Amino acid sequence: LFAAPVDFLKGVVAMSGMPPADRVEVCFAGRSNVGKSSLINALTNRKNLARASNTPGRTQEINFFTTTGGPYLVDLPGYGFAEAPVPVVKKWQDLLKAYLSGRVNLRRAFVLIDARHGVKKVDDEILTLLDRSAVTFQVVLTKADKISRTEREAVLEQVKGALAKHPAAHPELVVTSSEKGEGIDVLRTIITTLE
């Protein structure tokens, strides 16, 4: 699936613009700047397929990417970014919530959590939304290259504790670094085996 090129299909700003739900899809959700776009680039072996940036709030649309014979990969706008004008933030949040709760072919949501920070309140709200929508989600820790072994153990415990109250949580956590390549193959395999 990841051996063939992954292509950008479209960026969507409203539910009405979604491509037809004619295949399964997986999405990448997470706080602004957590590394969603970088992870998609690492998975697809492309430097700048999904635009990654130092500026939080870079991804402002729901971006769809097509794989050959596999699911859509969906890059979501980040949440928890308060520096954009309030109406703009509200519009993204509403779109994000509509997508996460209303997309019928959404097979799994990968919720990215910064390995330095663990699960924050704003993450927990998204996890609750996914529980209510019965969307299986799986936590992916990002930027693992930035923490020590000891910090890694601590954050894994914190995340497991936070997931205990979420029925839609997949039990397996994936630890990644888009920078160093850690966990990227594991995630590719998970996505490839979903149907």
- Give the footprint of ligand GTP on this chain (CB under 6 A): 30, 32-38, 52-54, 56-59, 78, 142-143, 145-146, 177-179
Q: How far is the CB of 93 from Mg ion (least distance, A)?
A: 15
Which whole-number Å values give the CA distances from 109 to 12, 99, 150, in the listed order?
A: 18, 11, 28
**Of these, 59, 138, 142, 177, which contacts Mg ion (CB under 5 A)?**
59
3-state secondary structure of 175: strand
Which whole-number Å values give the CA distances from 171 to 13, 88, 137, 141, in the listed order?
A: 32, 34, 9, 13
- Under rule CB under 5 A, residue 178 binds Mg ion: no
Sequence-separated (6 or more) residues with CB below 8 Å from residue 181:
42
Cβ proximity to ligand GTP: between 47 and 134 the closer is 47
Q: How far is the CB of 58 from ligand GTP (least distance, A)?
A: 4
Q: Which structure tokens are listed for 40?
A: 């998609």
Q: How far is the CB of 22 from ligand GTP (least distance, A)?
A: 26
Can you give the binding site for Mg ion, defined by CB under 5 A? Answer: 36-37, 58-59
